Amino acid sequence: MNLSLEDYLTEIEIQNYSKSTVKNKKAILLQFERWLFESYKMELEDTTTRHIKRYIKHLLDDGIKANTINTRLKTLNNFYKFCIKEKILKDNPLDDIELLKEEKVMIKPFSIKDIQKMIDFYCGTNFMDVRNRTILTCLFETGIRSAELSGIKLTDVFEDAILIRGKGDKQRLVPISLHLRKALVKYRRVREKYLKGQECPFLFVCTRTKGGGLKKDVSSIGRMGHEAVLNVVKRSGKACGVDVALLVHSCRRSFAQIALGSTDLYTVSRLLGHNHVATTEKYIQSMEDKTVLERGRNASPLSTLRGKKYQ
C-alpha cells in the first residue's frame, strides 16, 4: 500500500471515523490506486487533473452512477487535501474538478402499514423476537443509523431520551416515545434473563461462538454488528412482502418523512444528526407530490385563524 495512503487511513482512524467509513474510504482509494497504476504505471502522488478526468470517464463507461462517482471524487479530494496539509504535495489534482450532476433518486420509504407489519412480525416472547421487535421500534422511532444503534450502551438510556454517539465524536439526544419506552422495558427484562448473569455494556446483544473447526461450543455475549441489524430488517421485510429497498437506512428515511408531518425540517435534521439541513432534504426528495400538497394545505396560515372566512 502507498505510504501516503497508509498515513491518511491512520489519520482518519485517529479522528474516530467509524470502522465502516474507514473501510469504504480505503476500498475507494485502493481501487483508484490500482486503476492509476494499471493505466499509467503511476503512483498516487503523480496524479494530475487530466488523470482524474480520465478516471471519471472510465467510471462512466463502466456504467457507474453519478452519485457513486461523486462519492469517490469526494474521498479522493479529502485524501489529496491531507497530502497538501502534510506537505507531501503542493497541488490538489481535484481543485478544478466539478462534481457530476446527480439524478433525483426516488426511494420509496416504508409506509405506516409496512412499519407495523414488520414490527409485528417478531411477535414471539423469546429473547430473539423481543430483541428484534425492539430494534425495529428503535430504528423507526428515532431514525438512528445502524452503527449508532449497535453502539448504544445501557448507561446511554435515560427515562425520556437516549444518548447517541454519532460519526466522529459527535453526540446527540433522541427522545424515547411511549411505544419505544414500552418496548425497551420489556426487552431489558427479557435481556436480563437471557444473559444469566453475564455482563455486556451494550444494550442490544447477540450470542457469538468461539473456536474453529467442528467445535463451536464456547459462546459469549457481544454487541450486535451492522450485518446482524440489517438481517433483522431484511427478514421481517421479506416475510411481510414489503416493496422497498430493505436497508436500515430506509428506516431512517421513513422516520424523516413521517416526522416532517408534525415538526420542522431543522428539528428533524438535528434528530438525525446531520451537519447540514441540505443533507436532510435529500431524505425527503422521494416524498410523493400528493403528500406534499396535503401537508401544504394543513400548513395554511389563514386556515388556522378562527372566526374569519376568506373567499
Can you give the CATH number for the domain in which 186 is found?
A: 1.10.443.10
Indicate if 29 and 130 belong to the same structural domain: no
End of a domain among 85, 104, 138?
85
Indicate if 45 and 7 belong to the same structural domain: yes
Residue 214 has pLDDT above 50, yes or no: no
Residue 311 has pLDDT above 50, yes or no: no
134 within 8 A of 183, measured Cβ to Cβ: yes
How much is the pLDDT for 218? 42
Nearest to 135 by CA among 231, 219, 246: 231
Residue 38 has pLDDT above 90, yes or no: yes
End of a domain among 50, 85, 120?
85
Residue 198 has pLDDT above 80, yes or no: yes
**42-58: average pLDDT:** 96
Indicate if 209 and 136 belong to the same structural domain: yes
Partners of 222 in beta bridges: 206
How much is the pLDDT for 274? 87
Q: Give the CATH number for residue 33.
A: 1.10.150
Percent of the chain with pLDDT strictly greater than 70: 84
Indicate if 126 and 254 belong to the same structural domain: yes
Give residue-wise pLDDT tens across range 106-118: 667 788 999 999 9
Indicate if 139 and 76 belong to the same structural domain: no
Q: Assign 3-class secondary structure to 203-215.
A: CCEEEEEECCCCC
Measured CA to CA, the distance from residue 306 to residue 304 in angstroms comes to 6
Measured CA to CA, the distance from residue 166 to residue 162 in angstroms comes to 12
Indicate if 81 and 116 belong to the same structural domain: no
Indicate if 192 and 260 belong to the same structural domain: yes
Which residues, 6 or more positions from 81, have their beta carbon under 8 angstroms from its beta carbon?
A: 92
128 within 8 A of 232, measured Cβ to Cβ: no
Measured CA to CA, the distance from residue 177 to residue 103 in angstroms comes to 36
φ/ψ of residue 253, rounded to 5: -65, -40
pTM of this structure: 0.69
Total structural domains in the chain?
2
Residue 297: all three cell numbers together:
394545505
Indicate if 178 and 234 belong to the same structural domain: yes
Mean pLDDT of the chain: 86
Containing structural domain, residue 131: 112-296
**113-138: average pLDDT:** 96
How many beta carbons lie within 10 A of that of residue 65, not counting itself? 14
